[in-house]
Structure 1
């Protein structure tokens, strides 16, 4: 029975998990000469055949420029393009007009920051977008570089001060920490919904409430949440959000930018060119309304079609079921890690809310060496600073080893990772 024929339920039992895994051809691969245990979905997820087939079908049967040609093929391609927007919007509880395409989440976050900088260069700035000397931009110490560097640059350009919510020795911060950091000087708060290193789930409701009380914008890095759990961006009340296709079963090269209607109407586009204008003279230009005003130039249409197929797949499985499955795996990972002598778990403790990933430090062994031992046993994990150098610096380590699960991950694979991890220190003679 294929996954499309199975109604979403509250859990992924053995039968449903087997059907899911059968949809992913790469899970049968043996890149290291052993059965693949893929625990690097936090970096890039794998793609089911439904996504691969959708993109191939578009490329071979409907490929054409969208919103430009008058011929039948162009009309079919445009239908696919806008249908994809509707399906992605439905997945995240948004109206299609609030969803625009980007190259990836990093590009989408840069779009917001660059557009805010552009707004502040304008003669007449919407007061909601005014950022200047004496104002503050707030992030956390645990942010991915993609949700840090754009705000560093915006602070440099506008004269605002970049501040951050500090983390504790485990890399954790709380709603109380955020509330204390948001003040009348705060103009923008940018946070990850789920940390890609610690697995901490941010208290978004509390942050939005505190930010609203002070008139601040809230930008959400949703890369590690949208693929894994039910997310209602409109319901959360954030002003902007970004996520990437390649982390949610889709192709690379495409991401999504969500903008609350009021912000989308006020923001100027960061990039200008074809397809996002109404009228152009040699000295003036007028832009289309959102979302097209943020989509300059030719878009990666086949990748967008593939991303829509990924959204369909996630809905068919059921994001609530995926969330329950991954939360259980995350607890299994956390409990297993803390039981291994000489191995330190980063992030929330076992029993506390955390996503389905675990980053660890092995005493006396560099993360890259840990990764090599695991890879030799067919276990693919991520090693390094995970594009979060400030967090690792705060934790006092150069790198960690991260195992990240997804809907196709099994308990047996988690146990296999823990078993090999438990022998790493002995393998290197670490004491």
Structure 2
């Protein structure tokens, strides 16, 4: 099935780079879910050829950084994407926390502030501008002074060098390491060679916190270094187990490696460090749990959280994590997690977000004894396809009840059927239905 792009509240097309770039970017920054601006696509969603991709990307980055206020660093990503085998430019814009964003030369007025209304970009009213400004979050890490001012950044420079990037003498300014008073801020503190922040990794013998067998701390160093240390620790703990069936030897990690990495990095980079509570990582006999503090970002709903739209709590940290290769692309982490697991692995409260990865068990894979390595053989797919044809609006729970498969297995089969383009989801996750592609 050919992929068809359409403009929406979160998607805008431009045939080429023009003088409306800043206007569109500002509108997405002020949008609750951010958005994506494609350069090189016409109004019908078809790509145009002969774009000077490299030169245009540099111009776009320069205009966004220099022509929009407040600072947009860490809030946008520029990538190349192929549509119909033709390269186009895709600008991914996060929803900013310091609304209203505006065009620098126009000021904080209806001439400079814009918002998305359906598929169009419209000026913001003076009343809405005033309302946003009154709610603007000023307690970002950038505005909190570092507890220490004798900071050094040798570790950070090494990570940049490994990516082929050099930090010059003005790097602290470009990475926004100073408060408005010219003091090192909390971002600088977290990324410095020495600080008082540590990340705890606890391991328990059972399924509860009664029998603690390991309690390690990684930190008191650059948050980048600490994150790599925790990643390595969890990689070691995420052992591969072998299961021998009547016809196959199946090897599988306790937890899927890609979602584990994405959830771990998300827990660090989106943690509410201003409360001086670092994220916690726990290993039980049947699961891994990652807890970050701060809950949802003000103005963010659970739908926003799972929609894979990017709304970074700590955009300055996000920018550095992306620079050193820990984050690939804005908003991509959640989609990688949900490709393997259901939303119910997340627990969201007012003060924290916890993700719990259950360990793989052959008991959850009903067809493992029949020699099917993935547990999603053609017979299972056809069984689910027949049910979807009879009841297009059936839920995963309903499929589980009718087939006897676990909901995790149902999700895997549905994912495979979608990737094979044998089914298509019409409408929303809650009120939509499945269409069988003939």
**TM-score, normalised with respect to structure 1:** 0.25
**TM-score, normalised with respect to structure 2:** 0.25
Considering fraction of residues, name the structure with more helix: 1
Task: Tell me which structure has the larger Cα radius of gyration.
Answer: 2
